[in-house]
Structure 1
Amino acid sequence: MRNSKWIKTIVTVCIVLAAVTIVCFMFMDKKPAVGNMEVATDSELQEVFPENGGKGTPLSSSYRKVAENDRLELRLKEQNLSIQVVDKASGYIWCSEIIDKDSNESWTNFMSSGLSLQYFEKGKPNSTRTDLVSQTNKSITFEPIDNGFKAIIRLNNLKLGMELQVGLEQDQLVVHIPQQSIIEGDQIKLGSVYVYPFLGATKADEKDGYMFIPDGPGALIRLADNKGKFKIPYEAKIYGVNEGIETVSPDVFTNPPNTVQYPVFGIVHREGGNGLFGIVEKGQYNAKLLAYPNGVNTPYNWTGVQFLSRESYLQPTSRSLGGIVVFEKMRHPEDMQIRYTFLNGKNASYTGMAKMYRSYLVDKDALKKQEDRDEAIPIQVDVLGAETEKGMLSKRLIPLTTVGQLEEMLKDMRHSGIGNMNVVFKGWNEGGLSGSSPSPVKYEKEIGSSSDFQRLATEISEQGGKLHLYSDFTVAYESSKRFSAQSDAAKKIDKSILTLPTYKQVYDKMYYLSADNTSRIVQQNMKKYTDQNISGVAVDSTGSVLFSEMVNGNTSSRSHTAETYLAAMNELSKAVPSVLMYGANDYMLPYANQVLDVPIDSSQYIYISETVPFVQMVLKGYKDYYAPYGNFFANPQTNLLRMIETASFPSYYLTHESSYKLKNTNSNDVYTSSYEDWREPMAETYRMLNEALQPVRDAAMEDRVVLEDGVVQVIYDSGMAVIVNYTSRDYHRGNISVPAKGFQVIEVNR
């Protein structure tokens, strides 16, 4: 027995020694914490960022060729990671570096650096901007990659590092920062990254051309000497405000600016000369598009992307809304990537950018060419069934349009010459429109029975259209029987419930469902849609809203919200014959049969020189899209012409009853909706739009030419063109005559 005990002891000691040996070998071979989201230890930081790290191999201060293909040549200046790209077709050289001795040191260094960043210091709420030129204690080593280079960057004083990969792909340049390459310590945290922000920048009016921004349908900012009249740049977060981290107090008396729904930007050095078009392929869910006109901080015109790794926010410390400003603990997990396309000749324009982006989306299976249809243009008719009014003692339902009344309205529209109607029924569900979301898949009995709705759907289908039931899988109200704020609502990064004011009198606040609960609601609804043979669903918010949230104590990024929404919409599109989406972001295009509420005007920022139909040029002939509601236009005649120019199909928001009945509801902003008031203007608008757009029903836009101030010609791939005259005088050219405030459809040489 004693020998047995000794043997057990010896065996135990051997096992422990073996385990210790294995652990030692593991740590001896362990790499620094590069590539994960954890904080590197002091010893790991010391290994990656040695004290004399900046005194290694000198970096070249002149450009050298590092890659080349049939289309492009890539040159690199190691010292500041700036690049030159030579377009072999034109011989034009694009440069990312601005050498300017007149600006202050901060901007001089920023403009000459290929990569700049902002960082947070521990205990400080505000970020600090720096760049490769300002950081003298650094090391940059280079490795060749397929048709390009990889730069391994170490900013030794900040204990920050990352890799930058730059490579050529045919006529494109791809710039990539892998998230796994980022290393940071406990004291300094990465805030944001700028990569080649001054690629293609110009000084004042030294070059003719413009910057392109995806504001509304698209907008141009002229390359000009603005004489100091602009003080604020264009800065817009892709896909809009992140309400999971930002506190937004919109001005209820003004229209909000357009949301960026397409992650693209560009610059043109003389139309027909040379152009540069950028697509933010990775990291777009947490990125800003920037466009600085001449006079805003510098005399240069420049446009680019700021990738946000962390953001600061107000962390409440008391119920009285007091708090402190802090920054996010965890980085956003996405890689960062921009794809630049170099354009020349006739493609060096916003129309060339639109056609290039259209081809890009086709290759990604986000768009598909439509077959030619010899039929009238469609019209979108949104109808409000029921709303809720605040009474003396309780809320009460207000019927606005019953199924029977809608049938009579649609019959009258057909008699007026309106055909091919797509109908969205809002407030069809039990409880009406407001306050019921997530609404039950159950018809409001005061509007119509299940058999009534089935009859309506059949009648619309027989006329070539579809009935769609309005659904919002993102917005929620406390009054909904399918929602609990405590368990179902998304939680902001500060751990508070994501609540938004409505500025309305019946339901004064609303919530966003967590992404997982949105998915749950979609799954529950899908079965009922299938069981009830529902022909279509019109989805609001879910196709356009993105936010980050706290889930089980961890941050869930906007990219996760997008992925969850995409999976839900993918399943919905398989279960329902037709899915419409209001204001769909680019990633939702594969799942939207048609897109609603596509803007036809820009935000009219003071520095915008022209609004252009970039989005419509991308979609036309590939996916049907509709303008905002025509009964809310401030200038109906001008907007009718703009709809013709942008080839946007009409939409209206109607009720059978007077909109006066909505004055005490959450739909009190619907100030004119009575069908009786709109039956004649709507019929006339449809007649004119059909006359202009039916000849190019499924054709793709090929070009847009400004013939003179206020007169534009849109050319289609079918050999047809539409001339729109916004002026108060007739336009004449040869045997072509276009009336004032009118249009003309002509044939052109293809």
Structure 2
Amino acid sequence: MRNSNWIRTLVTAGIVLIAAIVFYFVFLNNGPERKDMGASSTAELQVAFPDHAKPGAPLSSEYRKVAESDWLELRLKEASLSIQVVDKRSGYTWSSEITDTEANESWQNFMASGLSLDYFEQEKPNSTRTDLVSQANKSVVFEPIENGFKAIIRLNDLKLGLDLYVKLEDDQLVVHIPQHSIVEGEKVKLGAVYIYPFLGATKAGEKDGYMFIPDGSGALIRLADNKGKFKIPYEARIYGMNEGIETSKRDMYTNPPHAVQYPVFGIVHGEGGNGLFGIVENGQYNAKILAYPNGVNTPYNWTTAQFLSRESYLQMTSRTLGGIVVFEKERNPEDMQIRYKFLNGQDASYVGMAKTYQSYLADKGVLKKMEAGSDAAIPVQVDVLGAETENGMFAQRLIPVTTVAQLEAMLADMKQNGIKNVNVVYKGWNEGGLSGTSPAPVKYETALGSADDFARLAAAVSQQGGQLHLYSDFTAAYEGSARFSAQSDAAKKIDKSIITLPTYQKVYDTMYYLSADSTRDIVQQNKKQYADLNVSGAAVDTTGSVLFSESVDGKPSARRNTADTYMAAMKGLAETVPSVLMYSPNDYMLPYADQVLEVPMDSSQYIYVSEVVPFVQMVLKGYKDYYAPYTNFFANPQTSLLRMIETASYPSYYLTHESSYKLKFTDSNDVYTSAYADWRESMADGYRILNEALQPIRYAAIENRARLAADVVQVTYDNGIAVIINYANRDFQGEDITVPANGFQVIEVNR
């Protein structure tokens, strides 16, 4: 015990030193600040929330300049955290603040606040909205950072706090909330965050222009006085429904709306005048795009992103007695960040937004400009169904509808009819056919052909300028698959129940999603087997477009984790297989998709949409080949053909050799017109027309899209070619050209 005194002294000194460090960082410095905009961290800050705000210098109620670049000037009103951004190129001022005495107090405060929150209270399943203006007992401390400011915000009554970073980067504004800066008490938990929701908002029809929403191919909502016609806003979750927490409302009679696959939004004040384009850079896996037309709650048109930190869900208490609504215990772990690009002049339009996003993705390495090839004939995508199953008396019965030999004959006939550059996706090629075998065995169905037959088919497709792709789905699963067990392989919701989806079919009435880890394992197995079979290509469905959170080992796993697992798996697949196609992939999957299938040419047809625009196609054109949905499923083939020309979308077909009547009792009974014999002539005619229109701009990017008349559109490309499309039933007479009714013309323009 002789040394105990000096040991106690040393331990005491260490405790005092640690306490001093904690006091400085937590109480004096409001948490560890990082010089950059902040990478996410799950560490919670322990802060003191006083019962009453400490007296100090009042926050300024006037705007003051806090940052400036060569392009922009940033002004701040401290009292409400509102900002103004002055575009020095045009002198135009963008404001986040709306002051309107006509609205009720709640909306007045929301419109005036730079920051608003939704929060959950214990024992209350639904969230409550609040804002910076409404909260009297708060502390907001501003600190300068390079090219901007940091706001340290504490809502003392709610015991909620966070740090907001706002900075200029050249001609862009970046707003950011690091996850590590969020603090919460025991009784109140953060639900959602709105950052500058009214930036760029306009009242009724006081300004000409529109809001842009990423619905389908892209859509515009006109800035107008809607006379109370609209009651419901546009509210769409980025990357679609989260089946891991939400309850699916699908039914067999209605088509679901298009999912948001690109995390962007925008608003234009006078096309050719000034525009604002927002990109959700962080937090997009748990965020929504909102757009409120005039008349929906307020007389204003406004669009923004809403970041979801927590959500409420139905926690089942028993199989028969239902459940109770609760909210998530854990916050989503992502930082939150929006990058705003300010546009003016000819760039202030949805075209400018598409070109801005295209450049953004190219700079990040997501897109790469295509190089002109030697064969300029446009490609055509042909999905061919090999075999399906129907219920028999004692077991499922295989129904072959396109054997390898029959497919070879179809391809030979296409070649004779002038159809070149054919990409083939073979569905139901695997043992057991298409439905019920997913995740499918990597084994050829012998009723269709031998391994040598499939190798010969791949060579024939290659000689015709395309590649043979084996249809693959690494996410959708059925209990008919020998590679799947619902109990061990299916994804589980955060309430620990298995994710199941009704198919409304007779053979397999339930579909599951594989857990992200199971998807990864299946891809790993398939990669080796694909290599052993010398597979020339894979066409991936579902994995690129579906995203969910899940329960893993009894703990919640965020959507971001699922996306990361999917991306790693697809990266490995793309490194193994010569060609990978993806059906309707989300933006984060684009680096691994050589070509993109089923790109929508329309929107979800919301009543407030004033025009559908080809935003997605303008982003992809010249960087990736993309294909329209199946041509033989269009209700109006002639109009759809013109729409393909306008959007520069290549054609695709879903075909069988046998009559689709044979599929009547299978789970592919929705394929109602697929026999090649019925489509061979229209395929050849359609291909000839599309090749005439699109071959001159095969590798070009879209430079502009303009409406010459109500039913006439001109699309201009960066190689000096323009295509004029006339949807009207009468000829269009331009200055030097006549475009036939329901037709098109390819012209050269001055570059």
Q: TM-score, normalised by structure 1?
A: 0.96
Q: Structure 1 residue 23: deviation in Å?
A: 4.8
Distance 1:27 1:435 in 2: 62
Distance (whole Å) between structure 1 residues aligned to residue 320 and residue 149 of structure 2: 53
Q: 2:406 matched to which residue of 1?
A: 405
Counterpart for residue 393 of structure 1: 394
Counterpart residue number, 2:37:
none
> Deviation of residue 686 (structure 1)?
0.9
The reply on whether 1:496 has 2:494 as its aligned counterpart is no
| Percentage of identical aligned residues | 72
Q: Distance in 2 between matches of 1:54 and 1:614?
A: 50
Q: Which residue of 1 aligns with 2:352?
A: 352
Query: What's the counterpart of residue 570 of structure 2?
Result: 569
Q: Secondary structure at the match of 1:304?
A: strand
The code of the aligned residue for 1:596 comes to: L
**CA distance 1:13–1:246, shift in 2 (3 Å):** farther
Distance 1:702 1:667 in 2: 40
Are 2:147 and 1:155 aligned?
A: no
Equivalent AA in structure 1 for residue 287 of structure 2: A
Question: How far did residue 29 of structure 1 move?
Answer: 3.5
Partner of 1:4: none
Corresponding residue for 1:335? 335
Match of 1:643 in 2: 644
Deviations 1:10-57 (A, max 9, x none): 5678767755764565345435596864666xxx44x2x122325332
- Three-state SS of the structure 2 residue aligned to 1:317 is strand
Partner of 1:3: none
Partner of 2:96: 96
Q: Could you say which residue in structure 2 is the equivalent of 1:421?
A: 422
**Structure 1 Cα separation of the partners of residues 251 and 196 of structure 2:** 35
Distance across 1 between alignment mates of 2:54 and 2:607: 45
Which AA in structure 1 matches 2:617? Q
User: Cα distance, 1:554 vs. partner?
Assistant: 1.4
Query: Matches of 1:255 and 1:413 in 2, distance apart?
Result: 33
Aligned residue in 1 for 2:244: 244
Match of 1:604 in 2: 605
Native 8 Å contact 1:547 1:558 kept in 2: yes
Q: Distance in 1 between matches of 2:423 and 2:338?
A: 38
Cα distance in 2 for residues equivalent to 1:272 and 1:29: 55
- Whole-Å separation in 1 of the counterparts to 2:279 and 2:462: 39
The letter of the residue matching 2:352 is G
Q: Distance in 1 between matches of 2:745 and 2:391?
A: 50
Q: Partners in 2 of 1:537 and 1:54 — Cα distance?
A: 63
Residue 26 in structure 1 maps to residue 26 in structure 2:
no
Contact 2:415 2:464 in 1 (8 A): no
Listed one character per residue, the Cα deviations across residues 501-526 of structure 1 (whole Å, up to 9, x for unaligned) are 11111101111111111111111110
Query: Which AA in structure 1 matches 2:196?
Result: Y
Paired position in structure 2 for 1:259: 259
Q: Which whole-Å deviations, capped at 9, do the CAs of 1:628-660 have from their partners, x for residues lacking one?
A: 001110111111111100000000000111111
Which AA in structure 2 matches 1:523?
A: Q
Aligned to 1:703: 704
Asked if 2 retains the 8 angstrom alpha-carbon contact of 1:37 and 1:330, the reply is: no
Preserved contact between residue 43 and residue 180 of structure 2 (Cα < 8 Å): no
Structure 1 residues 677 and 172, CA gap change in structure 2 (3 angstroms) = same
Aligned AA for 2:662?
K
SS of residue paired to 1:409: helix
CA distance in structure 2 between the partners assigned to 1:105 and 1:696 by the alignment: 55
What does 1:441-590 correspond to in 2, within 5 Å? 441-590=442-591
Alignment match, 1:431: 432
Spell out, residue by residue over 1:244-275, the C-alpha distance to the aligned partner (whole angstroms, 9 max, x if none).
00011213212211110000100000011000
**What is the 5 A alignment of 1:16-415?**
22-23=14-15, 25-27=17-19, 29-30=21-22, 32=26, 37=42, 44-45=46-47, 47=48, 49-53=49-53, 55-320=55-320, 322-373=322-373, 374-415=375-416
Q: Output the amino acid matched with 2:651.
A: P
Q: Secondary structure at the match of 1:411?
A: helix
Aligned residues of 2:367 and 2:623 also touching (Cα < 8 A): yes
Report how far residue 102 of structure 1 moved: 0.6
Separation in structure 1 between the aligned mates of residue 247 and residue 667 of structure 2, nearest angstrom: 22
2 CA distance for matches of 1:57 and 1:192? 30
**Residue 546 of structure 1: SS of its match in structure 2?**
coil
Taking only aligned residues, the RMSD between alpha carbons, in angstroms, comes to 1.4
* AA at the equivalent of 1:618: V
Structure 2: which amino acid aligns with 1:745? Answer: V
Give the aligned partner of residue 676 of structure 1.
677
Between the aligned partners of 1:586 and 1:451, the Cα distance in structure 2 is 37
Q: 1:596 offset after TM fit, Å?
A: 0.2
Using the alignment, how far apart are the partners of 1:125 and 1:263 within structure 2? 28
Helix, strand or coil for the counterpart of 2:139? Answer: strand
CA distance in 2, matches of 1:505, 1:16: 76
One-letter identity of the residue aligned with 1:284: Q
- Following superposition, the deviation at residue 395 of structure 1 comes to 0.8
User: What is the distance in 1 between the residues matched to 2:89 and 2:21?
Assistant: 50
**Deviations 1:262-320 (Å, cap 9, x if unpaired)?**
00100000011000000000000000000000000000000001000000000000012
Q: Match of 2:83, SS?
A: strand
Query: Aligned partners of 1:641 and 1:15: how far apart in 2?
Result: 85
* Structure 1: distance between partners of 2:55 and 2:352: 46
Q: Which amino acid aligns with 2:322?
A: G
| Count of matched residue pairs | 737
Structure 2: how far apart are the matches of 1:256 and 1:496? 24
**Contact 2:44 2:180 (C-alpha < 8 Å) held by counterparts:** no
Could you tell me which residue of structure 1 aligns to residue 725 of structure 2? Answer: 724
TM-score calculated relative to the size of structure 2:
0.96
Instruction: Work out the CA distance in 1 between the residues paired with 2:140 and 2:577.
Output: 54
Q: Give secondary structure in 1 for the equivalent of 2:318.
A: coil
Between 1:284-293 and 1:312-321, the stretch displaced more is 312-321
Deviations 1:338-367 (CA, angstroms, capped at 9, x unpaired) = 000000000000001111111111101111
Q: Is the 8 A contact 1:34 1:183 kept in 2?
A: no
Shift of 1:392: 2.1
CA distance in structure 2 between the aligned counterparts of 1:497 and 1:271, rounded to whole angstroms: 49
Equivalent pair of 1:39/1:186 in contact (CA under 8 Å): no
CA-to-aligned-CA distance 1:208-259 (integer Å, 9 cap, x gap):
0000001111100000000000000000000000000001121321221111
C-alpha distance 483-23 of structure 1, shift in aligned 2 (>3 A): farther
Indicate if the aligned counterparts of 1:54 and 1:156 stay in contact, CA closer than 8 A: no
Once residues 738 and 520 of structure 1 are traced to their aligned partners in structure 2, the CA distance between those partners, rounded to angstroms, is 55
Tell me whether 183-192 or 664-673 shows the greater mean CA deviation.
Answer: 664-673
- What is the alpha-carbon distance in structure 2 between the residues aligned to residue 422 and residue 413 of structure 1? 12
Q: Which ranges of structure 1 fall in alignment gaps of 5 or more residues? A: 1-6
Q: Is the 8 A contact 1:34 1:182 kept in 2?
A: no
- Change in Cα spacing, 1:321 to 1:541, as seen in structure 2 (3 Å) is farther
Cα distance in structure 2, aligned partners of 1:325 and 1:167: 39
